[in-house]
């Protein structure tokens, strides 16, 4: 009897330079069948990247759908197309890996927020809202790719100012803060989906070769830097989050390190603050109203 394929819906898995791509590359080389629904900005280039893997198309299926995470209306369209493609099939894993590093000079049209915040957090938080009914029915696992940078946000009162378009905040500050708010979201969703879904954040470690800093002139992280890891090792860390089941009793311990341990609450940079989570984790309707996404 043929095995039933597991279905993974993913962002940030479109490039050979991405940990997300490397993670799915491992799965696509296994004997267990998988169906992948990938939201990608450049479908042509991504099709070529996966085609180069020469995977067994009789066993695995890779579907590419257009997705620009700086466009909330496009996120809604992606969610609708994903649900149509799924039909009665369930989502086994929602894998949220997409991230960018940019300065605060630009943001999506009509939004007060900078692009780094919208891509790294808001759009993917909105995507969970849009897929919520299917995720609950599927009892899906939600894997949010995070970063140790969440510890580098000493002043939470700066979030409202720094993350806006034109704030002048350094890109490093924006990355730290956008990933911190993303972790607030992982906590919040774990609370909201308690009893139906497993939600966790995971760090791949410091991976210089992901291409995440490609938009920055004159900055290229090096493998010579302390704690730098190759792509394959980072992918292995992310893949561990797909099956990790020894969840701590404390629900606030949501963060899985790149070496496979659950960080204690005191290491989470204050992200366990439920009032802060509630402030930044807007409802679907609040996001649509604030960002001008008409229904």
Q: What are the residue numbers of the active site?
A: 175, 179
Judge whether 147 and 93 are in contact, CB under 8 Å. no
Q: How far is CA 169 from CA 105, 111, 114, 162, in A?
A: 9, 17, 10, 6
Give the separation between CA 95 and CA 22, rounded to whole angstroms: 13
Judge whether 65 and 41 are in contact, CB under 8 Å. no
Q: Characterize 33-64 residue by residue with b for buried, 16 or more Cβ atoms within 10 angstroms of its Cβ, and e for exposed.
A: bbbbbbbbbeeeebeebbeeeebeeeebebeb
The conformation of residue 29, written as its DSSP 8-state character, comes to T
- CA torsion sign, 78 to 198 to 188 to 24? negative
Rounding to the nearest 10 degrees, give the CA dihedral for residues 43, 48, 54, 57: 30
Give the separation between CA 144 and CA 41, rounded to whole angstroms: 19
Tokens of 206: 């410091």
Judge whether 167 and 260 are in contact, CB under 8 Å. no
């Amino acid at each position: 009897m043929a095995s039933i394929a597991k279905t993974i819906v993913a962002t940030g898995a479109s490039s050979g330079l991405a940990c997300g791509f490397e993670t799915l590359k491992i799965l696509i080389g296994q004997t267990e069948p998988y169906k992948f629904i990938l939201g990608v900005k450049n479908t042509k280039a991504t099709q070529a990247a996966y085609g180069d893997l020469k995977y067994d198309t009789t066993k695995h299926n890779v579907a590419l759908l257009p997705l620009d995470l700086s466009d909330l209306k496009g996120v809604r369209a992606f969610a609708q197309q994903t649900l149509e493609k799924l039909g009665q099939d369930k989502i086994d894993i929602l894998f949220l890996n997409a991230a960018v590093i940019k300065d605060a000079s630009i943001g999506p049209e009509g939004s007060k927020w900078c692009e780094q915040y919208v891509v790294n957090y808001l759009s993917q938080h909105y995507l969970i809202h849009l897929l919520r009914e299917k995720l609950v029915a599927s009892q899906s696992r939600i894997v949010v790719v995070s970063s140790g940078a969440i510890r580098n946000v000493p002043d939470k009162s700066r979030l409202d100012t720094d993350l806006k378009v034109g704030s002048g905040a350094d890109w490093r500050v924006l990355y730290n803060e956008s990933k911190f708010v993303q972790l607030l979201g992982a906590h919040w969703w774990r609370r909201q989906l308690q009893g139906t879904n497993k939600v966790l954040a995971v760090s791949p470690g410091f991976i210089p070769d992901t291409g995440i800093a490609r938009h920055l002139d004159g900055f290229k992280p090096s493998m010579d830097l302390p704690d730098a890891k190759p792509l394959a090792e980072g992918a292995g860390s992310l893949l561990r989050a797909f099956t990790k089941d020894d969840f701590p009793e404390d629900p606030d311990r949501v963060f899985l390190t790149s070496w496979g341990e659950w960080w204690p609450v005191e290491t989470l940079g204050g992200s366990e603050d439920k009032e802060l989570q509630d402030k930044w984790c807007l409802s679907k309707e609040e996001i649509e109203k604030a960002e001008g996404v008409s229904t």
